[in-house]
Amino acid sequence: WDEAKAFYDSLAPKKKPKSPKPQNAITIAVSSRALFRMEEEQRIYTEQGVEAYVKYQLEHENEPFLPGAAFPFVKALEAVNAQLRELYPDSEELFDIVLMTNNHAQVGVRLINSINHYDLFIERFCMTGGNSPIGYLKAYHTNLYLSSDAEKVSGAIEEGIAAATIFSPSRDLEVSEKQLRVAFDGDAVLFSDESEQIVKAHGLDTFFEHEKAHENKPLAQ
């Protein structure tokens, strides 16, 4: 890790704003396959094995990955951070992005080059080497974990970490990279799924009766 960190420091642009302290920031961990498009690399890994995968990555380390589904979201977070720094220069209540990847250090060079190519402000980089990300997510005080791996997302949720699965869109979508817009599902995300469970178990009529009887009682978190 020390060798990989030293290499990253030699590649990273020097004129970057100071990172916030973890206890003050809203930490969002994003998997490399959510941030960048890595379908071809994943196919090589699945069909040809890890050695062919590492060889391919090393041969293409100076070729940046294409932006993935989470890329506009991360860029929008950075735009919000830029405005917050301008309005509140002494505050550290910012979004802090951590890149999570299963890859080992040999493959990380291409990820670092891609981050620099797109001028992303990602200072923290976690290479799990195939291990579960849960311990790392807890160590980073993660507020939100975004990954293309539904199993890892489920594991994070079971450990009390807010998480969501990122899917690659079937078609290209124009999403703003300068304005942050987030839509949260109310059922079982912001609030408990108690109302949804009543619908499933007893139908809409019972649901409406229940809601009317409890309309002044807040839903659980």
Active-site pick, 149, 185, 193, 205: 185
CA-based nearest residue to 5, from 126, 135, 98: 126
Active site residue 185: yes
CA-based nearest residue to 12, from 92, 140, 120, 129: 120
CA-based nearest residue to 182, from 70, 33, 67: 70
Q: What contacts 24+ positions apart, CB below 8 Å, involve 216-219?
A: 219/191, 219/192, 219/194, 219/195
Write the DSSP string, 75-114.
HHHHHHHHHHHHH-TT----EEEEEEES--HHHHHHHHHH
The H or E element that residue 126 is part of is: strand 124-127
Euclidean distance between CA atoms 191 and 135, whole angstroms: 26
Catalytic positions, please? 185
